[in-house]
Amino acid sequence: MKIARTNIADEVSNWLIEAIRSGRYQAGERLPSVEELAAMLDVGRSSVREALRQLQALGWVTLQQGKGTFVSAPKVQIGSSLASFSESVQARGMQPGGVILRREVIPAPEAIACELQIETDEPVNLLVRLRLANGEPVAHETSYTPTYLFPDLLDQPWTVNTSLYQLLSEKYGVRFLYAVHTLYPIQIDDTLSQLLQLPIGTPAIKLQSTLYGQDHQPLETAFDVYHPDRYQYTVVLKR
């Protein structure tokens, strides 16, 4: 195969990602050497090395000194865009799923009301889900949305694959502009241990996110705990 002469490293990176997604290279498998890939794709070795560095930063591969480059076990990537859970999982070639643990309208606690810019005890939609990728638990999600903006949200025909973002967009016509993320280190407690299949006390990341629409209006605030071996948080910083 011959790579088009645009940004060669990016083209090599894209080719390798597609090869991993298609199953040509499996998780745990050693990739061809830099020299072999350069010859296979008719590119320079420096372009291959740069592509592999990109894939390592994105979590697709692991570089092992003296051994080579190996395909990483798939991880769900968050933090780089306003993608839904389902979109993030599908982007890694996995099947999204979920279990609804709690779904009800409740009075907004003070902290939640503050995030959503509503009055304390004003009704909010509470949705708690265990999120799955290829049938494996990867995240525990607790979502709050203002009932006055999204009435009857919890009465929708929810399935294991229902995307909250898609539902808010298609049914209520909202447009997402940006989100504010705050990360906290935590230790897995007894409840999360059972749900995420992790030992009690395992270090993990808790993400608080508030989603905003037009005129900086808060649309959702959520608290998510991620399985440390199945999630990767990526931040792109620009100057």
Distance of CA 189 to the CA centre of its chain: 22
Q: How far apart are CA 117 and CA 213, in angstroms?
A: 13
pLDDT of residue 28: 82
Q: Which residues, in sequence order, are CB contacts of 223 under 8 Å at separation 6+? A: 141, 142, 206, 207, 208
pLDDT at 190: 95
Q: Which fold has domain 8-71?
A: Arc Repressor Mutant, subunit A (1.10.10)
Domain ranges of the chain: 8-71, 76-233
Of the pLDDT bands very low, low, confident and very high (cuts 50, 70, 90), residue 149 is: very high
**Kind of pairing, strands 178-187 and 203-212?**
antiparallel
Q: Are 125 and 154 within 8 A, CB to CB?
A: yes
- What pLDDT sits at residue 102? 95
CA distance 136 to 168: 26
pLDDT value of residue 19: 86
Q: Which of 3-7, 38-42, 205-209 has the lowest mean pLDDT?
A: 3-7
Residue 200 has pLDDT above 60, yes or no: yes
pLDDT digits (tens, 9 = 90+) for 111-145: 999 999 999 999 999 999 999 988 889 999 999 99
What pLDDT, on a 0 to 100 scale, did the predictor assign at position 75?
61
Strand order in the sheet with 178-187: 96-107, 123-133, 136-146, 218-226, 203-212, 178-187
Residue 18 pLDDT > 70: yes
pTM of the full structure: 0.69
CA atoms within 13 A on the CB side of 208: 9
76-233 domain in CATH 3.40.1410.10?
A: yes
